[in-house]
Structure 1
Amino acid sequence: MRKFRPGVRVLAGAGAVAAGLSLAVVPTATIATAEAAGGAHFAVLAPKGGSLAAAESAVLANEGTIVRKLPQIGVILAKSARPDFAAKVRGSGGVAGAGATRNLAELTGAVPTASRLEPITPAVTGPSDRTAAGAEPLSANQWNMKLIGADQANEINQGSRDVLVGILDSGVDSGHPDLAANLDKSTSVNCAADGVPQTDEAAWQDQVGHGTHVAGIVAAAKNGVGVAGVAPNVRFAAIKVGDAEGYIYPESAICGYVWAAEHGVDIANGSFSIDPWYFWCASDPDQAAAAEAVRRSIAYATSRSVTPVSSLGNSNWDLAHDVVDTLSPNNGTPVTRTTDGSCQMLPVEAGGVVGVSSVGAAKSRYYNSNHGTGVVDFTAPGGDRLFQIPATPDANGQVLSTVPGGYGYSQGTSMASPHVTGVLALLKSRDPSLFGSALEAAAATDAEVLPCPAGGVHDPDGQGKYRAVCEGGATGAGFYGKGLVNALEAVR
């Protein structure tokens, strides 16, 4: 999840551990040697609906060790010190695919791409202590909640305790006063350790700040403290899939979606894309196998009534067309390649996932938001600190939410996605039978259609730096999908 870093095709906007504190970048040169002792990470596929027996035998016969078996999706997570491990396993009978999930970085000594993490801007307006009942002291700066009517929706229906949202992210600060009441510790987990679930509370704490920020947008309690979320009465699970450096590898995401499927999660928010490839292409057998393992985990989740939601990313890319990717792999030396129709950003382009783009306070596309007809399902407030400044006390165009130890601002499609998740949670609260495409359709009924800009081109600085072409005309589908979600209509 170097998805927490702007400028490296970030799907996230947050990057500090606490309000007012910037996050020091953890030296990455030690990662390869630390992992090498156990070998590189691999995903091995059994044929769909088939037994894992042949795949298990192939792993062991080729000097691999089994980290975890997932018979419910036909996947084995394995490690091996052999660079040719995947190729050898792929040649075995009864194996549908095998691939390195981390670009063999642990064996080659590759160092993850260095990039500075952007700190969360601290909230400076008003105290964060308790005020009069029902008043949130920092709510005046939550332009984002007003944009989708969430502040008015909260006065009617704050969501049901029967709805459980999964925050697949960097973990959550379990002691935060705006989150503790809604955090379901019994369904929280750390999946970032090789894709093996760890349920002790210390394991799923937030070391990055991103997950806590996302959780607050969905479900910060309306309790007279700090801020309020879109659905401030629903429960949420912290499902940690990002490691201490901010990366989310396939095995962690697979573990997260399987966990959500088996622990009663209704809506799973994924404000990230999966490392180390920004696009996973079928032409590469390693990428193809790892991507298929991820897709199987998401399909398993949707088969168990989980509705996955994901951000589109912040690289100003049109995901409906070929993209020149110069940044992958991000845990080694990037190579330039042009994507084709077989390449997918994951999880957002997997089947059944609700994709979210971002707008600022003026309901216009956030200058770096990815987009694309058929990829964007909805848009929501994610912030725009350069071109869309709200008339709020702090005049900050980013999104204000919780962070470990306080409150802070950040921006990106990672902030937009949890707004959609919160609206879906309100709709689910109103009609518990809704999930998947039916839940998405209910949100579409209430969404505000935003047309493409005049001439179909968005060029906010007039210099072409953030220029993007919107397809869809009056429907705005290329930038905004079915439209801007509306929390107020969701509870009426």
Structure 2
Amino acid sequence: MRRRTTRLACVLVLAVLVVAGVVPTARAATTVLTNYLVVSPAPGPLAATVTSIRAQGGTVLQQWPEIGVVVVESQRADFAHDLRGDPGVLAVGATRAMAAKQPYRLVTDAAPAGPLGPGTTGGRDETEPEFAKQWDMRQIGAEKAHLTTDGSRSVTVGVLDSGVDPTHPDLQANVDARLSVGCTNDGRPDTRPAAWQPTGSGHGTHVAGTIAAARNGVGIIGVAPNVRLASVKVVDEQGYIYPEYAICGFMWAGQQRLSVTNNSYFIDPWGLWCASSPDQQAVIWAVNRALAWSGSRDVVNVAAAGNARWDLAGSITDKGSPNNGTPTERVTDQRCVDIPAEGRDAITVSAVGPTGRKAYYSNFGHGVIDITAPGGDAWLNWRDERAAETDAIYSTLPGGTYGWQQGTSMAAPHVTGVVALLRSTRPELNAGQVREVLLAQATPKACPVKYDYTGDGRPDAICTGGAGEGFYGAGLVNAAAAVTP
């Protein structure tokens, strides 16, 4: 199986963005061992649901009675079809478009995670050696916020991603191993360090640095450098984020009462999940239940809008899904959504470059984008032969290194960091109130007069909404305002 990394809402400098989408789910012609989500009519005891599952030959892997969802394994091609309508079953959906499961592999040489550091109160960011490269922090006023506070140790950010390196000198003081977990073994929580540390991708470590790289005179500074980080690994060894992984992450966040989660990915294998498909509708319902439940536990969930240059408020021609098999082109409608970005109560983040203009790759859409943040734009001069990596986002990478990446993956953690600052300075606010204040404090950005990125005389995207909502939502996230009484 080819490894595909574009499902993470990140674009490596000089990399090609791959558009991903959706096609109707067909009945499988062959029998493969794969996973399903079974949704019960309501949250609560799942005895009737489990009985029906087993009667159809399914094996229960994980139960979430809080949201009425069961993760199931079956080798029967007609499993979902035959289970629909049985007692205790509202919906059933294959999570992998009927692709065969790959064996789970736990890496055994995990690095020991040290204790939390003493923490910091605030200071001047110029003392961090690499701060000059962090145009993004200056764009959102983070260095002004840090003159007041670095955030509170009582705030924990869940990084739902490819794992966070707990030994990185800019992260080790802030990674809380007690709250970290792996979710890639069929969506079952695994707290062993090997299950939540990065093995094949530095994406999660890069995201974590933007959120909370420590004030320590080493490297860079994060938006909220004194908050704690929980590594919640939802990316498997093949690079996929299947629905059961993401659901496990949201449920873990709610169970542990994390303050905020960062979700810089879209859920595989569909770039857009369509309610017109029984399989995909079941997944949409299950993910939305998990998001809503975590929200009811006072978790704020932040999500990247994606990098396909799509107008998420309109019809989309999607040529790349399912991305774990043979893609088929489909024109989608408003029954099709990007999850978790368009999931229930998620704060959806688009990306801008150093000039504050929408990054060329960023998805957009009036009524979809909530807020924008720096994600990098290495092709600000489209006619240049080479991208300017310094126009991307500089952050931490595994092995104590640093590097440049760009994408809405890099924009979302700026918003997550500001949410962490808000939860530090105004702990009396609940999750819904935090969202309201975050959007109210954003710096409004109007639509550009003409968005002609390539300079060919034709608009490359249409921004709608008088105050720029189609590209920027409420506007540019504002770290300085988040710490102002």
Task: Sort the TM-score into its range (normalised by shorter chain).
Answer: 0.7 to 0.9
Secondary structure of the residue aligned to 1:468 is: coil
Residue 47 of structure 2 is aligned to residue 53 of structure 1: yes
Partner of 2:437 in structure 1? 442
Q: CA RMSD in A?
A: 2.3
Q: Distance in 1 between matches of 2:82 and 2:369?
A: 39
- Is the Cα contact below 8 Å between 1:378 and 1:484 reproduced in 2? yes
In the TM superposition, 1:181-196 aligns within 5 A as: 181-196=173-188
Partner of 1:336 in structure 2? 329
Secondary structure of the residue aligned to 2:480 is: helix
Q: Distance in 2 between matches of 1:342 and 1:436?
A: 27
Task: Sort the Cα spacing of 1:66 and 1:37 in 2 relative to 1 into closer, same or farther, 3 A.
Answer: farther
Any stretches of 5+ residues in structure 1 without a counterpart? 17-35, 110-131
Identify the match of residue 416 of structure 2 among 404, 421, 424: 421
Any stretches of 5+ residues in structure 2 without a counterpart? 15-29, 103-123, 383-387
Corresponding letter in the other structure for 1:13? V
State the 1:93 CA deviation: 2.4
- Is the Cα contact below 8 Å between 1:204 and 1:240 reproduced in 2? yes
State the 1:142 CA deviation: 0.4
Q: Distance in 1 between matches of 2:3 and 2:148?
A: 35
- Is the Cα contact below 8 Å between 1:134 and 1:224 reproduced in 2? no
**Matched residues, percent identical?**
48
State the 1:282 CA deviation: 1.0
Identify the match of residue 373 of structure 1 among 366, 370, 380: 366
State the 1:466 CA deviation: 8.0
In the TM superposition, 1:237-252 aligns within 5 A as: 237-252=230-245
Secondary structure of the residue aligned to 1:155 is: coil
Q: Distance in 2 between matches of 1:142 and 1:466?
A: 30
Residue 437 of structure 2 is aligned to residue 433 of structure 1: no
Task: Sort the Cα spacing of 1:233 and 1:442 in 2 relative to 1 into closer, same or farther, 3 A.
Answer: same
Residue 150 of structure 2 is aligned to residue 155 of structure 1: no
Partner of 1:168 in structure 2? 160
State the 1:133 CA deviation: 10
Identify the match of residue 13 of structure 1 among 11, 14, 21: 11
Q: Distance in 1 between matches of 2:73 and 2:455?
A: 50
Partner of 1:99 in structure 2? 93
Secondary structure of the residue aligned to 2:391 is: coil
Partner of 2:66 in structure 1? 72
- Is the Cα contact below 8 Å between 2:125 and 2:131 reproduced in 1? no
Partner of 1:84 in structure 2? 78
Corresponding letter in the other structure for 1:422? G
State the 1:312 CA deviation: 0.3
Q: Distance in 2 between matches of 1:465 and 1:175?
A: 48
Identify the match of residue 312 of structure 2 among 319, 330, 354: 319
Q: How many residues align?
A: 440
1:369-407 Cα distance to aligned partner (Å, 9 max, x none): 000011100000000001079xxxx97100000000200
- Is the Cα contact below 8 Å between 2:125 and 2:221 reproduced in 1? no
- Is the Cα contact below 8 Å between 1:14 and 1:210 reproduced in 2? no
Task: Sort the Cα spacing of 1:14 and 1:197 in 2 relative to 1 into closer, same or farther, 3 A.
Answer: farther
Identify the match of residue 264 of structure 2 among 271, 278, 299: 271
- Is the Cα contact below 8 Å between 2:13 and 2:378 reproduced in 1? no
Task: Sort the Cα spacing of 1:191 and 1:37 in 2 relative to 1 into closer, same or farther, 3 A.
Answer: farther
Identify the match of residue 476 of structure 2 among 456, 475, 484: 484
Q: Distance in 1 between matches of 2:191 and 2:283?
A: 25
Partner of 1:220 in structure 2? 213
Q: Which segment drifts farther, 328-337 or 380-389?
A: 380-389
Q: Distance in 2 between matches of 1:402 and 1:465?
A: 38
- Is the Cα contact below 8 Å between 1:14 and 1:213 reproduced in 2? no
Partner of 1:116 in structure 2? none
Partner of 2:111 in structure 1? none
Corresponding letter in the other structure for 2:161? D
Secondary structure of the residue aligned to 2:321 is: coil
Q: Distance in 1 between matches of 2:135 and 2:341?
A: 26
Identify the match of residue 226 of structure 2 among 229, 233, 246: 233
Q: Distance in 1 between matches of 2:46 and 2:88?
A: 8
State the 1:338 CA deviation: 1.5
In the TM superposition, 1:450-489 aligns within 5 A as: 450-454=445-449, 457-463=450-456, 467-473=460-466, 475-489=467-481
In the TM superposition, 1:124-163 aligns within 5 A as: 135-163=127-155
- Is the Cα contact below 8 Å between 1:315 and 1:368 reproduced in 2? yes
Corresponding letter in the other structure for 1:229? G
Corresponding letter in the other structure for 1:205? Q
- Is the Cα contact below 8 Å between 1:10 and 1:314 reproduced in 2? no
Q: TM (normalized to structure 1)? A: 0.86
State the 1:50 CA deviation: 4.8
Corresponding letter in the other structure for 1:90? R
Q: TM (normalized to structure 2)? A: 0.87
- Is the Cα contact below 8 Å between 2:349 and 2:408 reproduced in 1? yes
- Is the Cα contact below 8 Å between 1:317 and 1:371 reproduced in 2? yes
Partner of 1:117 in structure 2? none
Secondary structure of the residue aligned to 1:332 is: coil
